[in-house]
């Protein structure tokens, strides 16, 4: 057995390279990363290929290792060289992601040091860091002192935490689900209904409230739906307004929603995954008035705070239902000191094997300061206004609703022919060119193009180029 252990140790030590081996790996990785960053300004925002990424199948997981430079070549060709370029300033589709250099360094350090961030006893510094970030977010969004939450892997997971918290706050049991009514805009994100299903509440009646001409939830229609459910003997339970819809960036009337939630005893869980971060600016705070009255809310730092993908936040002013939904005690876990004021993330989420993901936001905030983030967010709001004004001046363009935040939906018109097919053809041409990356959507049954201005590297020159390429594609195809 000792001989076998000696042989196995020699083999397993390959997993822990020494100083010289690490130096070669660092050098190669640095060269790859620096080449990627230097190429960013001219790199396409989207690369369209046949069977993208399929070449990885030619390199199955081997029994013996492959050279690191070869693996970087594979990464460049089959992963980083296809599809949407998530670091590009000309990524204007969907809700664009970002990837701050300092955030990537935070991710690297978190993975390298591998600090455990779910339980205070094991990772006190990592837990304090997450709670510091959550406290800062809560204050910026106007929530009261003592509000808490969790840094999840994204908005969908954060919504699941929020819905479970709202369920516990209302003391709902399985027998109640078919009567517990949920209210949201017809423009709401699909992940809300998905989270209800995952939480076991797929039977809960979901009321899609119609919107006004600016695609904002209509409060009078909401109140009528609540009253109809009360007359039917049902239980109005959850209101989910949206602070920045995916389609148009519309902000539901949050003040009116909060008034109705208070009047009828609903839990107000606001979806600010895209838009809530704009509360860091004066203009955004005005557009989001009422957000601070939410019982719980979601925002995605990997959207509006430019962190690498994989960071959503659930914030709530109600700690007890949050803990009731998620906290657990096991014999193998040491009891925390009675005077401990720090809340462990394991008490606020299903996750227990949680890494220090707060570092991907904490490090950029500490390094650059909040003022840089406020400036970047205000820039995106102004760029949306700028783009809208330019679209209004273009002949043959139906500009759509004025931007409430930083998303615009619009379309080009034809004197004759199918405008839906025409705008889809414009989008297909731009996607094939790859220089700028846009997306489309349907509003009132008609196809629209979308500009979503949020990536950290998106500046005026990128917006100008996108508009010029749109205009040229429309002229060519017309």
Domain spans of the chain, in order of start: 107-329+341-369
Span 235-286, pLDDT tens digits: 999 999 999 999 999 999 999 999 999 999 999 999 999 999 999 999 999 9
Span 437-447, pLDDT tens digits: 999 999 999 99
pLDDT above 90 (res 349)? yes
> From the CB of residue 452, how many other CB atoms can be counted at a distance below 10 Å?
27
400 or 335, which is more confident: 400
pLDDT above 90 (res 335)? no
Domain 107-329+341-369 belongs to what architecture? 3-Layer(aba) Sandwich (3.40)
Residues 117-130, mean pLDDT to the nearest whole number: 95
pLDDT above 70 (res 338)? no
pLDDT above 80 (res 340)? no
52 or 330, which is more confident: 52
Residues 85-106, mean pLDDT to the nearest whole number: 96
pLDDT above 90 (res 332)? no
In Å, what is the CA distance from 265 to each residue of 166, 179, 315, 409? 12, 15, 20, 35
In the chain, the percentage of residues whose pLDDT exceeds 90 is 96
pLDDT above 70 (res 222)? yes
For 460: left if phi > 0, alpha if psi spans -120 to 50, otherwise beta; the answer is: alpha
pLDDT at 341: 74
pLDDT at 339: 61
Query: Which H/E stretch holds residue 238?
Result: strand 235-240
Q: Which of 186-190, 209-213, 339-343, 369-373 has the lowest mean pLDDT?
A: 339-343
pLDDT at 104: 97
Q: Is 352 exposed, middle or buried (0-12, 13-18, 19+ CB in 10 A)?
A: middle
| C-alpha span between 379 and 460 (Å, rounded) | 9
pLDDT above 90 (res 363)? yes
Q: For residue 329, what pLDDT band results from cuts at 50, 70 and 90?
A: confident
- What is the average pLDDT value for the chain, to the nearest integer? 97
pLDDT above 90 (res 135)? yes
pLDDT at 103: 98
């Amino acid at each position: 057995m000792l001989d076998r252990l000696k042989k196995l140790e020699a083999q397993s030590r390959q997993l822990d390279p020494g100083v010289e081996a690490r130096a070669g790996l660092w050098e190669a990785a640095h060269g790859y990363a620096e080449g990627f960053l230097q190429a960013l300004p001219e790199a396409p925002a989207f690369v369209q290929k046949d069977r993208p990424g399929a070449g990885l199948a030619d390199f199955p997981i081997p029994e013996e290792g492959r050279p690191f430079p070869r693996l970087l070549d594979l990464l460049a060709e089959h992963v980083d060289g296809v599809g949407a370029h998530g670091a590009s300033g000309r990524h204007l589709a969907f809700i664009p992601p970002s990837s701050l250099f300092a955030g990537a360094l935070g991710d690297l350090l978190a993975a390298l040091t591998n600090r455990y961030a779910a339980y205070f006893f094991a990772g006190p510094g990592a837990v304090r860091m997450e709670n510091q970030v959550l406290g800062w977010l809560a204050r910026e969004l106007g929530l009261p002192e003592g509000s808490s939450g969790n840094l999840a892997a994204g908005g969908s997971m954060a919504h699941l935490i929020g819905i479970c918290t709202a369920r516990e706050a209302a003391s709902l049991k399985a027998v109640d689900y078919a009567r517990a009514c949920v209210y949201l805009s017809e423009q709401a994100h699909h992940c809300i209904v998905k989270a209800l299903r995952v939480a076991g509440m797929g039977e809960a009646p979901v009321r899609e409230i119609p919107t006004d001409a600016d695609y904002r939830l209509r409060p009078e229609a909401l109140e009528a739906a609540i009253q109809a459910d009360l007359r039917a003997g049902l239980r109005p339970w959850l209101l989910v307004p949206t602070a920045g819809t995916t389609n148009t960036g519309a902000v539901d009337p949050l003040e009116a929603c909060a008034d109705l939630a208070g009047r009828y005893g609903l839990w107000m869980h606001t979806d600010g995954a895209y838009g809530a971060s704009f509360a860091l600016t004066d203009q955004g705070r005005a557009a989001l008035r009422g957000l601070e009255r939410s019982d719980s809310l979601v925002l995605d730092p990997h959207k509006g705070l430019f962190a690498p993908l994989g960071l959503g936040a659930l914030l709530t002013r109600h700690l007890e239902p949050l803990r009731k939904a998620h906290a657990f005690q096991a014999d193998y876990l040491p009891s925390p000191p009675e005077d401990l004021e720090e809340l462990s993330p394991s008490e606020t989420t299903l996750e227990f094997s949680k890494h220090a993901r707060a570092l991907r936001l904490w490090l950029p905030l500490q390094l650059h300061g909040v003022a840089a983030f406020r400036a970047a967010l205000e820039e995106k709001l102004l760029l949306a206004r700028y783009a809208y004004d330019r679209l209004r001046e273009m002949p043959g363009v139906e500009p759509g609703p004025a931007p409430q935040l930083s998303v615009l939906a619009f379309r080009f018109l034809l004197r004759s022919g199918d405008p839906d097919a025409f705008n889809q053809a414009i989008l297909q041409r731009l996607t094939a060119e790859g220089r700028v990356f846009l997306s489309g959507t349907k509003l009132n049954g008609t196809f629209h193009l979308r500009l979503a201005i949020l990536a950290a590297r998106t500046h005026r020159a990128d917006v100008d180029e996108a508009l010029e390429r749109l205009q040229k594609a429309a002229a060519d195809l017309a």
